[in-house]
Structure 1
């Protein structure tokens, strides 16, 4: 993965978060998602359409649903 890829522009650098795109996106993946230019939420993927690259996420805090482009999500890698 190239950290200087255009998909990472505007993403906050953090060693435990990596932007993987659609290849590693699957149901249950824990993600951070961008709700507006300055706001982020955390949740789990409930649906992913590879053709349209649209992902649906259920928010961890309030259970609300968010739907948007996979490019607006960042997979959260949890150290085990």
Structure 2
């Protein structure tokens, strides 16, 4: 288990920048940390041990989230203009 925690912290360090084990308690981006943990472990089993592959998957997920935010913003603007 300590190896998995260390792996989790190393991935968070790559993803969020300078992270140590103590930062997990006070981390600002809980949703990102939980997403990373969810992708690393499924049913208590390590799913991805390659930090390089993991970084690629997280970058792809971030791109999808940003695209969804932009689309939601566009739809909100259209609705706001239509209701004026």
Determine if the TM-score, normalized by the shorter chain, exceeds 0.5: no
Normalising by structure 2, what TM-score? 0.24
* Structure holding more helix per residue: 2
Choose 1 or 2 for highest CA Rg: 2
* Structure holding more strand per residue: 1
Task: Identify which of structures 1 and 2 has the higher relative contact order when contacts are C-alpha pairs closer than 8 Å and 6+ apart.
Answer: 1
